[in-house]
Amino acid sequence: MPKSGIELDGKTILVTGAAGFIGANLVLRLLKETKNARIVGLDDLNDYYDPALKEYRLGLIEKAAGQSPDAWRFIKGSIADGALVEALFREEKPRVVVNLAAQAGVRYSIDHPDKYIASNVVGFFHILEACRHSYDGGESGVEHLVYASSSSVYGGNKKVPFSTDDKVDTPVSLYAATKKSNELLAHAYSKLYNIPSTGLRFFTVYGPAGRPDMFYYSATEKLIRGETIRIFNYGNCKRDFTYIDDIVEGVLRVMKGAPEKKTGEDGLPVPPYAVYNIGGGQPENLLDFVSTLEEELVRAGVLPEDYDFEAHRELVGMQPGDVPVTYADSRALEEDYGFTPKTGIREGLRAFAAWYKEYR
């Protein structure tokens, strides 16, 4: 679908989940590269993982915005709070919205399903409603809604690489089901209210200041404590690991190119709606990934050279909600936006290990 160019300079941009891993890195890029833009961040700073890391990321943002305080505003709150979202849109009138706020984690959803419904379903509904009511004189105040989906929507699909043309009707976790619901809801609102929306299916994002619940980060902390790391599916998992800078570059390019508004033969809007994969397209064997991580932790001085890694590995079966392979077909992203993630795991894990050494 043709993309309409969107100028970010001089615009108000709302980023939800702004203290999160992807959100904070996106805000930092926007502050660096946009002119006279106002970035508004929303995040509830919940304790799914240590809020101190979220505060650390916010500190980096505050420092980056220090010379131009009007360029950045942070609000602590949840997208599940409909009144807050409505008031925020009414006050700030964002022209571009990037919804990254969500309850993350596949395994956590098994024991805490209510948190996923509240944030990922009800919260996203509030964002859509706010975009809908931003209309002014028949034109939407929101030029483009970009939102996070997930590679988890591919569920039990056997065909690889995963393509956005594949059916995604067999989720294997509640988390995946809520992300698929986001895509369905966005399509409905795009059709009914002519709101340009683009969903992005992220593939295993990693890098400095990442989420501590992600395998590479949690494995690092366990190794430091002398604990054993569990490698699922007996090491026979493959993941399309995507470095954070590549994810942010993809998001930024998509923000600037919205699906074009068009009218169908019936006189009604053709939904300005799209979904893309953002993944490296190079699935890595989990054992190889672990070995590279271990080498880079030693190189950075996080772990000693004589560390006995073999004694701290345990191969275990597949966990509920997990899938053996994730592998992105990102050709559509390259065709429409001229970008494909390029960062290899050696370079990405080296950057993570160096950051971890300083942070801890």
CATH at 160: 3.40.50.720
Residue 147 in domain = yes
Q: Quick one: tokens of 112?
A: 């805490």
Could you read off the pLDDT of 269-321 as tens digits, one per residue?
A: 899 999 999 998 788 888 999 999 999 999 999 999 999 999 999 988 766 65
Which pLDDT score, from 0 to 100, does residue 226 have?
A: 95
Residue 161 in domain = yes
Helix, coil or strand: residue 231: strand
Which pLDDT score, from 0 to 100, does residue 138 have?
A: 52
Distance CA 255, CA 145 (A): 8
- Structure pTM? 0.94
- The amino acid at residue 51 is P
Helix, coil or strand: residue 226: coil
Domains held by the chain: number: 1
Distance CA 22, CA 25 (A): 5
Helix, coil or strand: residue 265: coil
Could you read off the pLDDT of 88-131 as tens digits, one per residue?
A: 999 999 999 999 999 998 888 888 999 999 999 999 999 999 99
**Range with the poorest average pLDDT among 77-81, 83-87, 135-139, 341-345:** 135-139
Distance CA 87, CA 83 (A): 6
Residue 311 in domain = no
Residue 232 in domain = no
Residue 121 in domain = yes
CA angle 247, 183, 132 (to 5 degrees): 105
Which pLDDT score, from 0 to 100, does residue 146 have?
A: 98
Residue 315 in domain = no
Residue 257 in domain = yes
Could you read off the pLDDT of 143-190 as tens digits, one per residue?
A: 999 999 999 999 878 888 889 999 999 898 999 999 999 999 999 999
Distance CA 313, CA 305 (A): 17
**Do 136 and 198 meet the contact criterion of CB atoms below 8 Å apart?**
no
For residue 277, list its beta bridge partners.
Answer: 201
Q: By residue range, what is the domain housing residue 36?
A: 3-206+243-281+327-342
| Count of C-beta atoms within a 10 Å radius of residue 32 | 8
**Do 149 and 179 meet the contact criterion of CB atoms below 8 Å apart?**
yes
Residue 290 in domain = no
**Do 166 and 159 meet the contact criterion of CB atoms below 8 Å apart?**
yes
Tell me, rounded to whole angstroms, the distance of Cα 68 from its chain centroid: 27
Q: Quick one: tokens of 129?
A: 């409603």
Per the annotation, the verdict on 175 as an active-site residue is: yes
Angle between helices 21-33 and 244-255 (to 10 degrees): 60
Average pLDDT over residues 56-74: 92
Q: Sort strands 38-43 and 269-270 into parallel, antiparallel or unpaired.
A: unpaired
Q: What is the DSSP string of 271-290?
A: P-EEEEEE--S--EEHHHHH
Q: Which long-range contacts (CB under 8 A, 24 or more apart) does 294-298 make?
A: 294/223, 296/346, 296/349, 296/350, 296/352, 296/353, 297/220, 297/223, 297/353, 297/356
206 half-sphere exposure, CB direction, 13 A CA radius: 28
Fill in the DSSP letter of residue 194.
Answer: -
Question: If pLDDT is split at 50, 70 and 90, which confidence band does 24 have?
Answer: very high
Set 175, 193, 276, 356: catalytic member:
175
Report the chain's mean pLDDT, rounded to a whole number: 92
